[in-house]
Amino acid sequence: MSEQYAALIVDIRDSRKLPAHERQDAQRELSCGIARANALFAASIEKPLMFSAGDEAQGLFRDAPSAFLAFRLISIFMTSARIRGGIGIGGWETRMDVELSTEQDGTAFHRARAAIEDVKKDKLSYLRVRGADGVLWSTAVASDLCLNLSEGWGQRQRVLGQAVEGLLPFVYTASAMLSAAESEGSASWPSECFTHADGGAEKLGQYRAMVVGNNVEASIEAIDLGMRGISYKLAEVLNRARQGIDRSLSNSNIQLERRAAAFTVGTLAREAGQ
């Protein structure tokens, strides 16, 4: 069997219907999200995410779970508009010796295109994943539930969710033996990750990536452990009282969304054989 890759295509939903200034804001946010994803998933990327046409971007990953987590990361930091995406699992048959993902081709890219076309027809979904046998339906249901949790966030809850993700973003490992305390060392977000409207977002300059894998139970245990005591850092980042942060976290579904993301990763890893 030839080596399998995961192509990701992302675009801004209904971008042509947006007023010009809102579309420009959404494009800036997507550009920042692309920079954030390329930095976080550098070890899992074959060809970095970049704009391909209009409000659309694409990239090539070594595994599908990392492509899903990249889409989720970008989605969480979008505020001016919503995005949709398609992931295609397959070959990378046409390899051009350039950095541009837009110059590459193969079944992974064709399936990603078909997957995002599926989403355009299904207004209830934000992401589809296609492999050799078509849509990965268990992953489709899991990802819809996960992404709909964050899409339902109000403005205040989204700011809190963005802060949590900015401090403790997810990366993927295929290891089934995941320690509950496992995480990567601290690193810095590149400056391109922030828009002029981010305000105090520069306080999110440092992050510690949380590792999730195909062992869902271990991943959720690691997520819950990582959330303990995070209100102290969030209070500093958001310039809010820690007690208020604790109440907001307990009344929100942010931790549930993170658990749902881990479940989606485990489901996708099994369906994709990765």
Q: How far is CA 52 from the centre of its chain?
A: 19
Asked whether the predicted pLDDT for residue 132 surpasses 60, the reply is yes
**Type of residue at 21:** H
pLDDT (average), residues 248-265: 95
Q: Which domains does the chain have, with CATH numbers?
A: 5-152 (3.30.70.270), 155-263 (no CATH)
Report yes or no: 224 and 28 within 8 Å, Cβ to Cβ. no
Cα-based distances in Å from 96 to 44, 92, 230: 19, 10, 44
Asked whether the predicted pLDDT for residue 197 surpasses 70, the reply is no
Which residues does 237 contact at the CB level (< 8 Å), separation at least 6? 163, 166, 167, 200, 203, 204
Q: What are 51-110's pLDDT values in tens digits?
A: 988 899 999 999 999 999 999 999 999 999 999 999 999 998 876 565 655 666 799 999
pLDDT of residue 179: 47
What pTM did the predictor assign?
A: 0.93
Place 181 in a pLDDT band, splitting at 50, 70 and 90. Answer: very low
